[in-house]
Amino acid sequence: MKNARGAVIYVGKAAVLRNRLRSYFGSPAGLDRKTRRMVSELADYEYIVTDTEAEALILENTLIKRHRPYFNVRLKDDKTYPYLKVDLAEEFPRVYITRGVHQDGARYFGPFASAGSVRQSMDLVKKLFPYRSCTKKITGTDPRPCLEYYINRCVGPCAGLASREEYADVVQHVILFLEGNTELVTGQLRGKMAEAADQLEFERAAALRDQVAAIQKFEEERTVKVDSPRMTDLDVIALAMAANETWVEIFFVRRGKLIGRDHFFMDGPQDDEPGEVIAQFVQQFYATALEVPPTILVQHDPPDDDAPRRNGAVRIMRPQRGENRKLMQVVAENAAEGLAQHRVKWLNRSDAIQGALAELEEELSLPALPRRMECYDISHIQGSNLVGSMVVFDSGKPLSRDYRRFKIKAVEGVDDYASMKEMLTRRFKRLVSAWGVIPDLVIIDGGKGHLSAAQEVMLHLGLQHIPLCSLAKENEELFVPHTPESIVLPRDSQALYLMQRIRDEAHRFAISFHRNLRSKGSLKSPIDMVTGIGPKRKRMLLRRFGSLQGIREASIEDIATVPGLTRSLAVRLKQTI
């Protein structure tokens, strides 16, 4: 599909073209937001007929990479991803990084998300297995080996210290390890260790022992939480979505154990459903993957069956219960944590922060750069334990020493607006005397109603000169006083990124306070509700009667005999419990 300028804005596939196109031009009320926007820009389209659905999948992926259409969800920086290559055509094979896969008899492992992740895997393999990393021609006649031989990182074929067959065993262990078959590797190494000990080659046996221990240590670290009672091969995919990008986490489980993990970024419209993003990732990632397991677990159901095919059917399923469900939760937590850490790293870039602050100054018509920003949020569950939070960012970075929590005291029931008024009144009524600093921008987590409540407080306190705005989560819209229309920042806006980070931090801080209050409340005893009975008298009562039930069964006269308790206090206690 193309816009009026001829630019490709969307690439899709369909078994029945007529039905797919008709779905775009029905009633606008039946279309999602993304489709309405796409149709509004659509000026022309063309189509290509393929012989099979598999060909259509490959062609769709190729065209998305070539044209990078705005309305397609796609892998970010979807260049050719790196692989590990074991070149078996060499007499003494090496392990190295490549970006091309060829039918040349070599073994390839990947793809990896970045050069950094493939180098990390390569460094790990190099620490565990002593294959050569040099590029010299191996003759076996060198007068002495290099330093790697003496630190047990190479078996020294260059100096004739390892035959071709012995070196081939090392390479075979590398391949088995990358395939996830560590049990076979350690079993073979133990056999060689015993053989070396029998032949009194104790230094060689010790080196093999250390190698086995290193492999076992790595195996223990990577199988935490995901060891499965069944020897299954599967990939597990979960995601965490932000306004302008999505972090996709993938765990590779082989023979019931985690052999690796990676993450990818997806670009595309925010309006896409999680299932659509999952479907696009599966399609694009496995189009270049060398191995597809028989089962792919996904966090959200794809809208249709786009399962990749490799020598048999592949099942794509969303786990509902059991061990697979627990594993999915682990992967989802890693995705959320990865995206959060990515955003924190972004905040440490001074150029990005300055750009975000300058953009906010312009978009909100602020009198100066918003160096100090304060964000306020209200939290409750079914009206209980109403709390508020205030977080502070200075020059785009969290200033945790100025964070504050507010326990809402004067509001009955669920009333976010009244709760916001109480919190802001307590914060700003002693603005200078108690706090000593005036914010450059006050951010309210909420929509127009929350902004109006905050504006009322500022007017009442004579602080209308302090810039004020609210951020509504549903469509990520900004509202400012005296302007009925919302301000919608671009999805890739650095200013929006910063505002979301501040809003999310205020929400996290409020939720943590709310949970603390709930946990404290759940630990309270009815005895604590009686005025005049503190911790010491409570201990005396429990020591005398053994439990709360024992106190309930005791008479007023018996309770009054406890040291420190009077008859009137005993009567109040019996009435309370």
The beta-strand segments (E) located in 191-280 are 234-241, 246-254, 257-267
pLDDT band for position 231 (cuts 50, 70, 90): low
Which of 44-58, 119-133, 221-235, 277-291 has the lowest average pLDDT?
Answer: 221-235
Residues paired with 109 in a beta bridge: 84
pLDDT band for position 229 (cuts 50, 70, 90): very low
Task: Look at residue 467 and tell me whether its pLDDT is greater than 90.
Answer: yes
Mean pLDDT rounded to a whole number for the chain: 81
Which of 33-37, 307-311, 438-442, 483-487 has the lowest average pLDDT?
Answer: 307-311
What's the average model confidence in pLDDT over 11-18?
85
**pLDDT at 347 (0 to 100):** 64
**pLDDT at 520 (0 to 100):** 55
In 26-108, where does DSSP find H-type helix?
33-41, 53-67
- Tell me the per-residue pLDDT of 169-199, one tens digit each, with 9 for 90 and over: 888 888 888 777 777 778 888 888 888 888 8
- Tell me the per-residue pLDDT of 205-216, one tens digit each, with 9 for 90 and over: 887 788 788 777
Instruction: Please tell me the total number of residues recorded for the chain in this structure.
Output: 577
What's the average model confidence in pLDDT over 288-306?
79
pTM above the 0.75 mark? no
Task: Look at residue 91 and tell me whether its pLDDT is greater than 80.
Answer: yes
More confident: 200 or 51: 200
The three-point CA angle 93-96-99 to 5° equals 125
Which of 86-95, 363-372, 429-438, 471-480 has the lowest average pLDDT?
Answer: 429-438
pLDDT band for position 122 (cuts 50, 70, 90): confident
Task: Look at residue 105 and tell me whether its pLDDT is greater than 60.
Answer: yes
More confident: 382 or 399: 399
The beta-strand segments (E) located in 55-106 are 74-75, 83-86, 95-98
Task: Look at residue 81 and tell me whether its pLDDT is greater than 70.
Answer: no
From the list 88, 223, 80, the residue with the least C-alpha distance to 164 is 88
Task: Look at residue 266 and tell me whether its pLDDT is greater than 90.
Answer: no
Question: Would strands 384-394 and 397-398 be described as parallel, antiparallel, or unpaired?
Answer: antiparallel
Task: Look at residue 451 and tell me whether its pLDDT is greater than 70.
Answer: yes
- Tell me the per-residue pLDDT of 483-540, one tens digit each, with 9 for 90 and over: 888 888 887 788 888 898 899 888 888 887 666 655 555 456 778 777 788 888 888 8
Query: Per mean pLDDT, which of 24-28, 53-57, 77-81, 234-238 is the most reliable?
Result: 234-238
**pLDDT at 226 (0 to 100):** 47
What's the average model confidence in pLDDT over 35-47?
85
From the list 519, 554, 523, the residue with the least C-alpha distance to 540 is 554
- Tell me the per-residue pLDDT of 153-172, one tens digit each, with 9 for 90 and over: 888 899 888 888 889 988 88
What's the average model confidence in pLDDT over 361-367?
89
Task: Look at residue 218 and tell me whether its pLDDT is greater than 60.
Answer: yes
Q: Reduce the DSSP state of residue 391 to 3 states and report it.
A: strand
